[in-house]
Structure 1
Amino acid sequence: MRTVIAVAAAEVFDRLPAALDGSGPALLPGGPQSLAGPLGPDEDSAGDPTAVVVATSGSTGEPKGVLISASALVASAEATHKRLGGPGRWVLATPARYVGGIQVLVRSLVAGTEPVSLDLADGFKVPDFVAAVDEVCRTPGRHYTALVPTQLARIVAVPDGLAALRRLDGIVMGGARLSPELREAAAGAAVVSAYGMSETASGCVYDGVPLDGVGVRLVDDRVAITGPTLARGYRNRPDLTAESFVDGWFVTSDLGRFTGDGRLEVLGRADDMINTGGVKVPANAVERLLERHVDAACVVGIEHPEWGQIVAAAVVGAADLDQLRDRVRAELGAPAVPKVLRAVAELPLRGPGKVDRAAVRRILDPIVRDAPGSS
């Protein structure tokens, strides 16, 4: 019986070959020990071993372990290289405990190259990234990296950083939505916006177009994905697996639509719709508007005795909160105006580039509860 072992992120690259061919245990990079241990009969396959278990809390904070097979990881890596223009050498700029970082390592193994890894112990630093790009570009062939929007924003703010980006043949953006403003700031760099998650072995839809072999459809307006990159399900949670993996499709919690040219547009999470006074306000739409005027924003719904829910927002880099409210009112209507709007130094994160919405609610909820007439 194969087992899952917890490993440090720094060990993943060396242990991956044995995990992929089944001669070694499945890897749990940086995950809780509760997800380690023997694999159940439905969690592994002799012909296609479970190679990695990725710990993810999703948006609810409930720890889950996503079971990703060797074939799913390899299929994702090969499809990514095909879309980007061929195998190459990668800069690992995100932690290898998350699926985006793990996939950089898998792509490197598939390409037969050695990644250049940043030391992220003290956080992401643009000079370190520039040096890593310089090192990787000394090797002939194609050169890539994978980033999250917060990293890209820091890079493009530095002339040397933008110059380094433009040396690369592909920059896969994941973790969070890439705003049009940030994409424009990175003009001249080969930026690709990727949509996916641990359950799809990383990004599987690039700039709205599925990778080869991946299928996308809408189920009750929710994005559903099929193809060879799908995970097996959730560790020790057959109930969650049955709920989300249905007839070969993974049904996400994201709302989507198809544009006129057939591209997928992700509109936000289904559970991020805020019902305030009987009016439904999409949190994602308010966030996108605010992010045109601030460095970052997170919009959440908070329970309220009078309104049912109210729109609440935390923003980074705000100059005039009243002006922000006026902009929301003018473009989205009065119900979308945040009744609670707070400037913060930074948004709490639960992964690379992913805002911890539950933590934002905890920050904003005391403001609501302490307000006059809220009890």
Structure 2
Amino acid sequence: MTNEQIKVNGRLYSLKEIKAQDPETAKWHEADRPALDFVCRWTNGQTEFRINTSGSTGKPKTIAVYRDKMLHSARQTVKALGLSQNQRALVCLNTAYVAGMMMLVRGLEAKMRMEVVEPGALPFENTDEAPDFVAMVPLQLKALLEAGYRQMVEQAGCIILGGAPVDTVLAKEIKTLKGVKVYATYGMTETVSHIALKRLNGSVPERAYSALGDTEIATDDRDCLRLRSFLTDGEWLQSNDIVRLHGDKSFEWLGRVDNVINSGGVKLFVETLEDRMAELFANLGINRRFFLSGVSDEVLGQKCVLFYEGKAFSDAEIQRLKEAIEKNFGKYERPKAFLAVMSFEESPTGKVLRTPTKAKAYEVD
């Protein structure tokens, strides 16, 4: 395979032939169509693309993204990561969404050799060699490591992770990876893709994100991140992400302001607590998805509640969990109830939808 070709689900296509097609009538394999349709339109100079949002922080919607912004974003990433011509890029995210589309743009812009595979838990399952560059969600990397792909992961050049926070347990595992460079990404719909990177392994893993290229950062009176760049048309874009600034181009992410629990006048940063809870679950051998959220309480205003997936814990399991939480969490930090949900609600890209999930929960203790 050369950089004048693209492999999609094991089938090799010429970029020149793709460009010559009419995407409305092209007789491509249906499974290959989303990626090839985008590549066709991109190589023919289309300037506006309609994409779906995942709906993780609101209702799913269709938005317009523009070629100049996509190119700007791609070039920032290519430069920051030192990507170059003829390196191998693996696209294992859904190309109907911006994360997958931007992998295609980066590969085309850097003239990389690209392979597209169906999004799934094990992105390396149907590929012969480790890529020089791949973007995935944390669950994919976790699944690869658990399924025995560690050697192939370490042979990869660079992995960027997005779509969800990297939990404490996975972060510890990532720190032990040799050879490969692993980064967490920060971005939002309005910035097309990520605008900051944070190295998760190496000699000194980073606590803070470094803003890319022309991105300027600041905070408002809630300590929520504001940013400005070409991607925001030079206007300040306000986020609901609480951060701690580390200089003019670096910031530490603490959590979403809309997830903060105000319990008895004490502000609890949910994402920080979830990191600690994930480590506790791992130490107890509990392999369940969970999240923490605030629920109205007459005395505290809000109380911290733990929602977990699957059948209800036994009384003995609840007791063991409570004892461990008692030792490791402060008075207001401790969940005041444990609510079971048989299956979490998810967005099309696999993000847990907290509000509809909470509506399905039932109290265990």
Q: Is the 8 A contact 1:93 1:117 kept in 2?
A: yes
Query: Could you say which residue in structure 2 is the equivalent of 1:205?
Result: 196
Q: Is the 8 A contact 1:298 1:314 kept in 2?
A: yes
Paired with 1:136 and 1:276, the residues of 2 have a C-alpha distance of 47
Query: Could you say which residue in structure 1 is the equivalent of 2:231?
Result: 229
Unpaired runs of at least 5, structure 1: 25-48, 138-142, 233-246
Deviations 1:304-339 (A, max 9, x none): 445432211124698944344344444441122112
Paired with 1:335 and 1:182, the residues of 2 have a C-alpha distance of 26
Query: Could you say which residue in structure 1 is the equivalent of 2:290?
Result: 297
Matches of residues 21-40 of structure 1 in structure 2 within 5 Å?
Answer: 24=46
Query: Could you say which residue in structure 2 is the equivalent of 1:254?
Result: 241
Paired with 2:321 and 2:97, the residues of 1 have a C-alpha distance of 34
CA distance 1:363–1:196, change in 2 (3 Å)? same
Q: Is the 8 A contact 1:314 1:347 kept in 2?
A: no
1:337 to 334, 339, 358: 334
Query: Could you say which residue in structure 2 is the equivalent of 1:263?
Result: 250
SS of alignment partner, residue 280 of structure 1:
strand
Q: Which moved more, 1:175-184 or 1:321-330?
A: 321-330
Q: Which moved more, 1:334-343 or 1:302-311?
A: 302-311
Paired with 2:254 and 2:31, the residues of 1 have a C-alpha distance of 32
Identity %: 24
Paired with 1:129 and 1:303, the residues of 2 have a C-alpha distance of 44
Paired with 2:305 and 2:168, the residues of 1 have a C-alpha distance of 23
Paired amino acid for 1:223: L
Paired amino acid for 2:124: F
1:178 to 166, 172, 175: 166
CA distance 1:75–1:288, change in 2 (3 Å)? same
Deviations 1:11-51 (A, max 9, x none): 34333356557865xxxxxxxxxxxxxxxxxxxxxxxx333
Q: 1:58 Cα shift?
A: 4.2
Q: 1:353 Cα shift?
A: 4.7
Q: 1:111 Cα shift?
A: 2.3
Q: Which moved more, 1:327-336 or 1:172-181?
A: 327-336
Query: Could you say which residue in structure 1 is the equivalent of 2:73?
Result: 76
Q: 1:156 Cα shift?
A: 0.9
Paired with 1:307 and 1:63, the residues of 2 have a C-alpha distance of 33
Q: 1:173 Cα shift?
A: 0.4
SS of alignment partner, residue 177 of structure 1:
coil
CA distance 1:268–1:322, change in 2 (3 Å)? farther
Query: Could you say which residue in structure 2 is the equivalent of 1:16?
Result: 38
Q: 1:9 Cα shift?
A: 8.4
CA distance 1:261–1:253, change in 2 (3 Å)? closer
Q: Which moved more, 1:205-214 or 1:271-280?
A: 271-280
Q: Which moved more, 1:283-292 or 1:352-361?
A: 352-361
Q: Is the 8 A contact 1:10 1:96 kept in 2?
A: no
SS of alignment partner, residue 165 of structure 2:
coil
Paired with 2:241 and 2:162, the residues of 1 have a C-alpha distance of 15
CA distance 1:312–1:9, change in 2 (3 Å)? farther
2:181 to 187, 190, 193: 190
Paired with 2:54 and 2:98, the residues of 1 have a C-alpha distance of 9
TM-score normalised by L of structure 2: 0.74
Paired with 1:265 and 1:252, the residues of 2 have a C-alpha distance of 14
Matches of residues 1-375 of structure 1 in structure 2 within 5 Å?
Answer: 10-16=32-38, 19-20=41-42, 24=46, 49-59=47-57, 61-87=58-84, 88-120=87-119, 124-126=120-122, 129-132=124-127, 134-135=128-129, 137=131, 143-159=132-148, 161-186=149-174, 187-188=177-178, 189-207=180-198, 208-220=209-221, 221-230=223-232, 248-259=235-246, 263-294=250-281, 295=287, 296-315=289-308, 320-342=317-339, 347-364=344-361, 366-367=362-363
